[in-house]
């Protein structure tokens, strides 16, 4: 049921993270994303800032 989960998570930039290209979602998060690839796990959950 990964597809359904993706829809729930991909409210904003999260969809970019699902694609697997951290560089794209990185623009939303900032330079910190590129510095730490682990941030990708956090991006799956849309931060309140974007909401």
Taking alpha carbons only, the member of 20, 16, 18 closest to residue 5 is 18
Q: How far is CA 25 from the centre of its chain?
A: 5
pLDDT in tens, 9-37: 445 544 555 555 445 444 444 555 455 55
36 to each of 3, 8, 10, 13, 39, how far by Cα in Å?
Answer: 26, 24, 21, 17, 6
Query: What is the per-residue pLDDT for 50?
Result: 56
pLDDT at 45 exceeding the cut of 60: yes
Query: What is the per-residue pLDDT for 18?
Result: 53
Query: What is the per-residue pLDDT for 49?
Result: 66
Query: What is the per-residue pLDDT for 6?
Result: 47
What is the model's pTM? 0.12
């Amino acid at each position: 049921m990964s597809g359904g989960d993706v829809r729930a998570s991909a409210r904003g930039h999260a969809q970019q993270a699902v694609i697997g290209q951290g560089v794209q979602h990185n623009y939303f998060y900032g330079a910190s994303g590129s510095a730490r690839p682990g941030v990708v796990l956090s991006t799956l959950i849309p931060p309140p800032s974007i909401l």
